[in-house]
Amino acid sequence: MSDADTATGTLPPEGGFPVADGRATAAEVWRLSRGHRLKLVAVAALGIVSTAVDLIPAVAIGLLVDRVQDGTAGLGTVLTATAVMALSAVLGTAGTALTIVLGTRTYHTILAALRERLVERALTLPQHLVERAGTGDLISRSSDDVTAVADAAPAVIPVLTVTVFTIVVSLGGLTALEWPYAAALAVVLPVYAVALRWYHRAGPQAYRAERAAMSTRAQQILESQRGYETVLGFGLAEQRHRAVLTTSWAVALQSMRARTVQSMLSGRLNLGEFLSLAAVLVVGFVLIERGDSSVGGATTAMLLVLRLLGPLNQLLLVFDTLQSALASLSRMIGVLTVPDASEPTATAVSGTAMAGTAVAGTAVRLTDVTFSYDHGPLVLDDITLDLREHQHVAVVGASGAGKTTLAAVIAGIHPPNTGNVARPGHVAVITQEVHVFAGTVRANLTLAAPGATDRDIRAALDATGAAGLLARLPDGLDTVVGTGGHPLTDAQAQQLALARVLLADPELAVLDEATAEAGSADAQQLDRAVLAVLAGRAGLVIAHRLSQAASCDRIVVMEHGRIIESGTQDELVSAGGVYAGLWAAWVSGR
């Protein structure tokens, strides 16, 4: 990345990630259906045939009525009609069941592909975008919304499959029988269209509001869980309880609103059903009176309409579930529509980022950089800093000086408000909050280097002073650690994280108080591990202990978001400035 390039990204709208519109949702579903379209065509063909077979009983009953009225029906006629109806019922049911099974399998295959894309995109989103939109919103989309779409399958697919094919076949059958019957039904269909149009306006709004309320509730619960110690320490339990309770009631109210919309739809469907039956009865009476239709023909028409009205009403009723699923689907695909940042990001190595290439000979260059969180006061103010290749720079300062923010901007986690940031193509970040993933030690270490051999892993552990750790683990590299696994101390977890960086072999390592959680007994060992990690590459160290800063090539002192001192250990101590005072206090306190 050149000097003119800036680490920027497109912020999502306030209140969460974007929601994909209908066109974007349809385009993504169509793309995901690639490779399954022949199956979908086969499902459609099988559904039409099965539905046509399923309508044979209505025709058979109509013919039987005419034979009875003519006095030509006998036991053979009744048995034949009964056998035909039984056979068609069996074949139609079997065909419909097979259609639903094939459709459901294809649906879940496509949904699985979408879920994989969603998780993949979520894991590569820049951290500042996730923080801006809210972690709870992202979790809700990858959990609640995925569940809503998956759970809709048993309710939607059977009804949708049967209804669409039944409408097509029934209208064709009515037209073939006597076109006035089809015309009578067609006249009433606008009632359903009006009901659907009304619901299309009211339904999505209700369900989007319900899903948004769920996201807000998820955010409140997540913040309460993550900040559990803070909540207890400051006596905020009751306040957090009220916040969760308030958002939960908001979910309940939005859910009641959605159910009210559903009830209003049911009333409109009942009206449409009444008008459909009345229209066909009146037309049948007129046609029979004029001799243009028989009683059997009218009976067949009524049975076809009755056969149609059931699935049609079910379709519009399940449209409630369908709308909810589509709202969730749009929210899921909305995450995929978040534009990539102008520079790529890498997979995490306890927080790894990748960016463009810096100026030759310079690992990092910051020029006139400013940064603030959500348009608040400046946390970084006019920062200009160069970090040469293979140079190790320590950043020190009081709490709140902007050290961690500087590290995040250099790593590409946060884009600057103004100014330019240039960095190498592979940057690894370790913070003091080191995460141990649930899995084996080997799996934890090869996250950053999938091709690493056991020999590479042991060499990295040895370099970070963690070789003895394997001897204490029951199954060596195959020992399961993390949640539910073998417990590790804070120092051991930090050793694993440092070994992971060695295996990743970045051009720039950013250590943000990476060993701050270590006790005094482990401090020297972890300091040596840090030096091993920094060897041969550029390094930025947010120093918790000044002994770490003293071992670096250069020290930068920050205060109120600005760099106030910069130089080597000896230069700063001799200058008698802020760092000299910090060093004197550190030496006397050891």
For 456-498, how does the pLDDT look when each residue is reduced to its tens digit (9 = 90+)?
999 998 888 887 888 888 888 889 998 888 888 888 888 888 8
Tokens read off for 173: 């059958």
Amino acid at 325: A
Q: Is 310 exposed, middle or buried (0-12, 13-18, 19+ CB in 10 A)?
A: middle
For residues 235 and 241, what is the distance between their CA atoms, to the nearest angstrom?
11
What is the pLDDT, as a whole number, of residue 5? 35
**What are 414-452's pLDDT values in tens digits?**
889 899 999 888 888 888 777 888 889 899 888 888 888
Any idea which residue has 């003119």 for tokens? 4
Contact between 321 and 90 under an 8 Å Cβ cutoff? The reply is no
The pTM of the full predicted model, rounded to 2 decimals, is 0.57
Q: Is 374 exposed, middle or buried (0-12, 13-18, 19+ CB in 10 A)?
A: exposed
Contact between 341 and 126 under an 8 Å Cβ cutoff? The reply is yes
Contact between 477 and 457 under an 8 Å Cβ cutoff? The reply is yes
What is the pLDDT, as a whole number, of residue 174? 78
List, in sequence order, every beta strand (DSSP E) within 238-361: 352-353
Tokens read off for 232: 């207890």
- Cα-Cα end-to-end distance for the chain: 43
For residues 38 and 289, which has the higher predicted lDDT (pLDDT)?
38
For residues 458 and 152, what is the distance between their CA atoms, to the nearest angstrom?
49
List the helix and strand counts (H, then E) for the chain: 20, 12
For residues 240 and 441, what is the distance between their CA atoms, to the nearest angstrom?
37
Task: List the chain domain ranges.
Answer: 22-336, 352-434+489-589
For residues 335 and 398, what is the distance between their CA atoms, to the nearest angstrom?
38
Phi, psi of 550 (to 5 degrees): -65, -25
486 DSSP 8-state letter? B
Fold category of 22-336 in CATH: ABC transporter transmembrane region fold (1.20.1560)
- CB-based contacts of 478-483 (< 8 A; 24+ apart in sequence): 478/440, 478/441, 478/442, 479/440, 479/441, 480/438, 480/439, 480/440, 481/436, 481/438, 481/439, 481/440, 481/441, 481/444, 482/436, 482/437, 482/438, 482/439, 482/444, 483/438
From residue 408, alpha-carbon distances to 133, 273, 345, 392, 515 in Å are 18, 62, 13, 17, 17
Contact between 482 and 438 under an 8 Å Cβ cutoff? The reply is yes
| pLDDT band of 203, cuts 50, 70, 90 | confident
For residues 142 and 144, what is the distance between their CA atoms, to the nearest angstrom?
7
| pLDDT band of 72, cuts 50, 70, 90 | confident
Fold category of 352-434+489-589 in CATH: Rossmann fold (3.40.50)
For residues 192 and 271, what is the distance between their CA atoms, to the nearest angstrom?
9
Mean pLDDT of the chain: 81
From residue 397, alpha-carbon distances to 26, 106, 401, 431, 564 in Å are 52, 58, 6, 17, 10
What is the pLDDT, as a whole number, of residue 579? 93
| pLDDT band of 341, cuts 50, 70, 90 | low
**538-542 and 392-397 strand pairing:** parallel
- Percent above pLDDT 90 for the chain: 15
For residues 170 and 90, which has the higher predicted lDDT (pLDDT)?
90
**What are 234-285's pLDDT values in tens digits?**
788 888 888 889 999 988 998 888 888 878 877 887 888 888 888 888 888 8
Residue count of the chain: 590
For residues 522 and 322, which has the higher predicted lDDT (pLDDT)?
322
Using the predicted structure, report yes or no on whether residue 46 has a pLDDT greater than 80.
Answer: yes
For residues 32 and 494, what is the distance between their CA atoms, to the nearest angstrom?
41
| pLDDT band of 522, cuts 50, 70, 90 | low
Tokens read off for 257: 């609103």
| pLDDT band of 359, cuts 50, 70, 90 | low
